[in-house]
Amino acid sequence: MTDTIKAESAEALVGERLEQLLGGYDPSVEPQEFWGNQYDLGLAWVQFPEGFGGLGVSPKYQSVVQGALEKAGAPTWNRELNLLGIGMGAGVLAAHGTDAQKVKWLRPMFTTEDMWCQLFSEPGAGSDLANLSAKAVRDGDEWIVNGQKVWTTLAHIAKWGMIPVRTDPDVPKHAGITYFIVDMKAEGVEVRPLYQITGEAEFNEVFFTDVRVPDEYRIDEVGAGWRVSMTTLMNERVAIGSRALPRGGGSMEAAIKAWKDYGHADPAARDELVQLWAGWEALRLTTLRANQMRKAGTPGPEGSTGKLAWADLNKAITAFTVDLMGWDGTLYPGGYVLHRPTEFESEGSPQRNFLRARANSIEGGTSEIMKNIVGERVLGLPGEPRVDKDLPWKEVPRG
């Protein structure tokens, strides 16, 4: 079969399934039920194999699916709602999971019945994730997990958590890690809110005390946790960096609104606004281009550039927007209310969005780390001398 024929039949297949899903689309259907149908028809992740929410076709057809859903007014916000599951966990299961694990976790993840969280960062292991010290010790068919995680987004509503833990402290740090999916409602898991600059507690600290995890929840081999963690992060960076916004959308919309509402005319500020607009549009086009070229499978390090650029631009645009508001920018409508949101709060005042944007260059890997990745893994520049790489984990200096 030539590629053209393959492409033609893939297109036909996607079209056929879309017709089944959307023909006579009934908007009164519950979103979770709709997402269940979408999954069963293989339109959740088209590149996944049939039976696991996919059709085994090129991932480029996913944008065809998304376009059709949006056009029909069908619900698509599950990807935002369960970003850590759908954007990251799914890719991990696809690359490293057994069929039984995929069957267990993918569907309820996609329908958002089961929310997911990412238990990577620890007080002593942020950028240096491989330095993590939460540990698991084998006990027959189970593992016993102890330790602390931090900055865990939405841990308070998650049913499942992705957790790399140390299973061998005597080997170099990357080699002694094993990756599990942990039940967040299990005994011994304690989730405490951590409030952030905006007063919201999107994230948490999570304590594990003798938590029992069945060996079936282990992802990939014992000691392969670093590889699985990398898959998670590559997916995360793409999930963050590849959101396709309309032209002038997202934070730029608020900037333009402020420009008009506050009656600005100063040519210097106008130039600044348009510089930001142009940067934002160049990013949008780059994202579009990257999404079209993306191959099936785990994204490579090139996925990091989008996140890097997005973080800088979003910070600059939201800060500029607040500036355009003059004295109004010194206010905080509604005040700071310490609370625990039950989903990502993406909407907010320009002032709130200005504060929230500060995380963009920290969450999902800091911009410094992104630059190291781009420099070393994309451009092939030599790495920094490493003092810790070959030492047994327990001998690495920690300040």
Partner 1 sequence: MADQALDVDFALNEAQEMLRQTTRQFLADRVPLEAVRQLADTEAGFDEKLWQAGAELGWHSLAIPEEYGGAGYTFAELSIVLEELGRALFPGPFLSTVVMAADAILTAGTEDQKQAHLPAIARGERTVGVALFEGPRGANLDDISMAAEPSGDGWVLTGTKTNVVFGQAVDTILVAARTAGGLSLFLIPSGTPGVSHEAVPTLDPTTKQAQLTFTTVSVGPEALLGREGAAGPVIERILRLAAVGLSLDQVGGAQWCLETSVEHGKTRFQFGRAIGSFQSIKHRCADMLVEVEHARSAAYHAARVTGDEEELVIAAPLAKSVCSDAYEHVAGETIQILGGTGFSWEHSVHLYFKRAKSTALMFGDARYHRRLLADALGL
Catalytic residue numbers read 236
Question: Within positions 111 to 170, which residues make up the interface with ligand FAD, using CB under 6 A?
Answer: 117-121, 126-127, 151-153
What does 336 bind: partner 1, ligand FAD, none (CB cut-off 5 to 8 Å by kind)?
partner 1
Token pair listed for 144 = 């016993």
What does 296 bind: partner 1, ligand FAD, none (CB cut-off 5 to 8 Å by kind)?
none
Of 61 and 310, the one with the shorter C-beta distance to partner 1 is: 310
Q: Measure the CA–CA gap between 236 and 389, rounded to whole angstroms.
A: 24
At what angle are helices 31-40 and 99-110 packed, to 10 degrees? 150
The reply on whether position 269 binds partner 1 by CB under 8 A is yes
Q: How many CB atoms lie within 10 A of CB 291?
A: 17
Of 109 and 130, the one with the shorter C-beta distance to partner 1 is: 130
Interacting residue with ligand FAD among 40, 220, 328, 363 (CB under 6 A): 363
Q: Measure the CA–CA gap between 51 and 335, rounded to whole angstroms.
A: 48
Secondary structure (DSSP) of 358-373: GGGGTTTS-HHHHHHH
Q: How many CB atoms lie within 10 A of CB 326?
A: 11
Instruction: Give least dist CB 250 to ligand FAD, A.
Output: 17
Interacting residue with partner 1 among 20, 326, 342, 345 (CB under 8 A): 326
Of 152 and 351, the one with the shorter C-beta distance to ligand FAD is: 152
Of 57 and 309, the one with the shorter C-beta distance to ligand FAD is: 309
Handedness of CA 297, 247, 241, 282 (dihedral sign): positive
Of 203 and 259, the one with the shorter C-beta distance to ligand FAD is: 203
Which of the stretches 170-178, 343-351, 359-367, 385-393 binds ligand FAD when contact is defined by CB under 6 A? 359-367
Q: Measure the CA–CA gap between 132 and 121, rounded to whole angstroms.
A: 8
Instruction: Give least dist CB 197 to partner 1, A.
Output: 4
What is the DSSP code (8-state) at residue 70?
Answer: H
| b/e code 120-156 from CB counts within 10 Å (16+ = b) | bbbeebbeebbbbbbbbeeeeebbbbbbbbbbbbbbb
Q: Measure the CA–CA gap between 214 and 221, rounded to whole angstroms.
A: 14
User: 137 forms bridges with which residues in the sheet?
Assistant: 144
Q: Measure the CA–CA gap between 284 and 301, rounded to whole angstroms.
A: 19
What does 152 bind: partner 1, ligand FAD, none (CB cut-off 5 to 8 Å by kind)?
ligand FAD
Interacting residue with partner 1 among 191, 319, 321, 353 (CB under 8 A): 319
Q: How many CB atoms lie within 10 A of CB 386?
A: 8
Interacting residue with ligand FAD among 10, 357, 369, 373 (CB under 6 A): 369
Chain residues that interact with ligand FAD, rule: CB under 6 A = 117-121, 126-127, 151-153, 203, 359, 362-363, 365-366, 368-369, 372
* Residues near partner 1 (CB under 8 A): 121, 125-128, 131, 150-151, 194-197, 199, 203, 262-263, 266, 268-269, 315, 319, 322-323, 325-336, 338, 351, 354-355, 358-359, 361-362, 366-368, 371, 384, 386-388, 391, 396-399
